Amino acid sequence: MTSLPLFPLGTVLLPGARLPLQIFEPRYVAMLHDLLDRPEDERRFGVIAIRRGSEVGDGAATDLYAVGCEARIDALAAASSPEGARYPLVVTGTRRFALDGIDASAGTPYLTGRVSWLGEGGAEDPTVAALARRLLAAHAAYRDAIGADPSEISATARELPYRVADETILELADRQRILEAPDLPSRIRAVIAVLQREAALITAFGAVPRDPDPGGATLN
């Protein structure tokens, strides 16, 4: 079990995905300063989606999901505003973790979690190759339904469901379900199911989904 600084958000970070953030709330500024005191390759924290509550303010993040994703800081800058310092940064999702509990003894103004790392599993399953082909076909059908150009995805079998999910406009619950899938075959099947559902809804009702990302940066 490992201690990991936690950054609760109203979105789900997937392994391999990049996420722009702006940090300004004092407790998360303190988290960032603590991370910057570490060697560069150890500047990581856990992004975990909020089940109930909000990203900022008193009583924020009253309930968190059970699985999150470690975030590696790739780029960081400092900016100022009338409200104080802001830190735009870009992170990349690395590995999944299970949140075993909150470490109340950590003494940090931000949440620190006790986490266990989750493996991917199932890469050697004989069904993976066929599932990957079905996933690419479902992704092509989805893009056709929304009127988007075909997208060629170059990825390993392990990366493929994450890459496809990240290119698809999905609700938080769908992204979380994909993150929580216990192994690779289950994850590929979960993404296929979501793509087929979305393509069917678009075809039936003509309602093209809109990206819920507020301007490409989650504020905290």
Residue-level pLDDT at 56: 54
Q: What's the pTM value of the predicted model, to 2 decimals?
A: 0.88
- CA of 73: how far to CAs of 3, 32, 52, 76, 95, in Å? 17, 10, 26, 7, 13
CA neighbor of 53 nearest in space, from 64, 45, 43: 64
pLDDT in tens, 66-121: 999 999 999 998 876 666 788 999 999 999 999 999 999 999 999 999 999 999 88
Q: Which residues contact 212 (CB under 8 A, 6 or more apart)?
A: 169, 171, 172
Distance CA 28, CA 182 (A): 30
**183 confidence band (pLDDT: 50, 70, 90):** very high
Residue 212: pLDDT over 70: no
Parallel, antiparallel, or unpaired: how do β-strands 2-9 and 18-23 relate? unpaired
Q: Which long-range contacts (CB under 8 A, 24 or more apart) does 76-81 make?
A: 76/32, 76/36, 81/24
